[in-house]
Structure 1
Amino acid sequence: MRVLYIDPFSGISGNMFIGAMVDGGLSPKGFLEGLKPLGIAAEDVIFEKREKTGILATYFNLKSEEARGHHDHEHNHEHDHNHEQEHSHHHHRGLNHMLALIEKSGFEREVKDLAKAIYLPLAKAEAAVHGKDLYEVHFHEVGELDAVVDVLGAAYYTVASGAEAVYVGKINTGGGMVTCAHGTYPVPAPATAHILSTLDVPLGGATVEEELTTPTGAAILKGIQAAYRPRPEGRVLKVAYGAGTRDHDLANVLRLFFIETEEARAPIFYSCNLDDMTGEAMGFCMERLFDAGARDVSFAPIFMKKNRPGYRLDVLADGACEDKVLDVLFTHTTTLGVKKIPLEKIELPRAIKETMTALGPVATKTARYKDVEKISPEYEDLKALAIKHDTTVEAVRRAWELGL
């Protein structure tokens, strides 16, 4: 399974996440194409390599933000747009306007929907901090175009990465004080703290008297549903770094691991007990489970509590199929719960060869364990020849045995 592991040992911000994704080999081209309807051209953005405490990382930002010195990671473009007279028009942008900007972009529907899922925690945090209704508050602190660009970029690159799971380590928020549009507050700033309170992710890391995690960074983790866990085992495909602007003793970078784990190849065993379904309904469920990618499906007669007769439904499927398998089980059976057991399946190496019989070719599976060889015909081939020659499967099997 392809896993994206986010390591915010030095915090996380929107532009650092985008920079790290590009550093990981994902192209800026599709991202820049999606921004064109918003009036942002390739010459309006920065993608460049920068060295951070000896680490070469990719830096991303809008040139307008770079010129003003307003940076998501260091000064929080969600926080420090204090030039209220110069940018007073920002005070009139509500949530609907910002969602309309996302819709106006040129990205695919999946990206737009994910961008909204990332932006909504930002809006909720702003509303909660100010004690206002979600659709009444004016998002002068999260309503900047660069915030929308960061949200769209995070959504685009998460989808483009092809990650089947996203995990995150402990989040370093930084320390000290931060100046927002409404005053000076301890780190994490109010909006960031609110979003972090909705994540089931521990905080931790080296102490730095800077704001390391921004509202946009926290909202990305919330929106893409990054789950906390230690870095998973697996083959590391790529390590990437996204650069911040300032320099301090702790490398100002966001680190991403692109990992191929064994979870997709390791099967998962799902099981549930049924005592109130017809045979037709169970047969239909079996068909849907195979359509969902199950490797094997079986029913076994059992006696349940109170000595009630029923059936145990067992399903073997790859971890990547979990959502589809569970959807079938909870939609097409009466069960209220499913047991899930990760398995280590020990399989013999096998090969397929063709055996020519008097009735036609039959695929033959062979496997070996020490000095024991196992040979079996492919049932679908036996069935097809039986129908073609209007005979029985057993007659075709006998012809296959003679052809070995």
Structure 2
Amino acid sequence: MNGKHILLCVSGGIAVYKAAALTSKLKQAGAEVKVVMTESAQQFVTPITFQALSGQPVYTDTFDEKDPMKIAHIDIADWADLVIVAPATANMIAKMANGIGDDMVSTVLLAGTAPRWIAPAMNVHMHAHPAVQNNMNTLKSFGYRFIEPGEGYLACGYTGKGRLEEPEVIVALVADYFSEHQHKPLAGKKVIVTAGPTREAVDPVRFFTNRSTGKMGYAVAEAARDLGADVELISGPVTIEPPSGISITHVESAEEMFQAVMSSYDKSDIVVKTAAVADYRPKRVHDHKMKKQDGELSMELERTTDILKTLGEQKKHQFLIGFAAETDNVKTYAKRKLESKNADMIVANNVKQAGAGFGGDTNIITIFYRDGSHKEFDMMSKKEAAVHLLTEAIEQMGDGQ
């Protein structure tokens, strides 16, 4: 942690006293700490306390420009290697989720690109309130990481979840983050992962879809994050809890997924297409619910855009990984897909094989490479499979591919 720049944003709650201890412990661990406080936070602990503990000026007013050559809220946001909001009140979480910048803390949080960690602290019922939970899920979708509050006796007299995590634990998490980040093979890489199914509308009630649950894609996204990558997860409709530290874009149709992928493709280093995207969609989408009629029903379908093929055609520096979920002739179809889509790797499985189908927590994969070789893996968890396929990709990229 030596020399790392940590910006501590303190919002108002009784747990502010823990933020003072956190400032001291971060500095003792070698970090440079700058503190930004809300007006409410100053009602619990004065700025001079944080100034003494950090050895740095404390920022409290958006319009108090300490250096006329710099705009303070931009300057300190750019200065930070990591931003920690502790304690994060329900009010501050709501501001962050909705892009409100009406004081120094909320304005700073809108500026800069450093990772943001949120450490909530509030009454147990406030923490469980649907609005607060919805705001936290929104922040998770932005890629913000949460340091979950502990359970126990709260200052309000209740017992439950809502206590700010102990400063010692937060410091350990920060130390692990910087230690691991420096040695992670995907640090500095932008990884796009597509996951889940798509839905193709028939009418306002019905749609075509498939059996994908998104588990494999979400496992890949989390593994890429843990390997140090900046991850964008583009997800079809799933019921999986959004992972922290990952930017998520939710889509419905194949066309929406195509547009989302293409909008970020130029800036990506690795693209992992695990999503089960519809190959066809109804040529006509009815404005009203189709009524049941006697006899058979015929429906004309049209092809959707082949996302993997388009990515392969427009590939420049990107490393492109496709998935092939097959029911027979797995090797033949996987090799054909590798060539026709101009992919760098194809991860194939037989979804009829026990332990390798949709919805389960395990997979049995075979990875096919550009040189014509392939590697088979025994049944393992989807999280393990995700790590294996990314490790293989890192090795291939290291060979100049």
Classify the TM-score, shorter chain: under 0.3
Report the TM-score, using the length of structure 1 for normalisation: 0.28
Q: Which has the higher relative contact order, 1 or 2, with Cα contacts under 8 A spaced 6 or more apart?
A: 1
Give the TM-score normalised by structure 2.
0.28
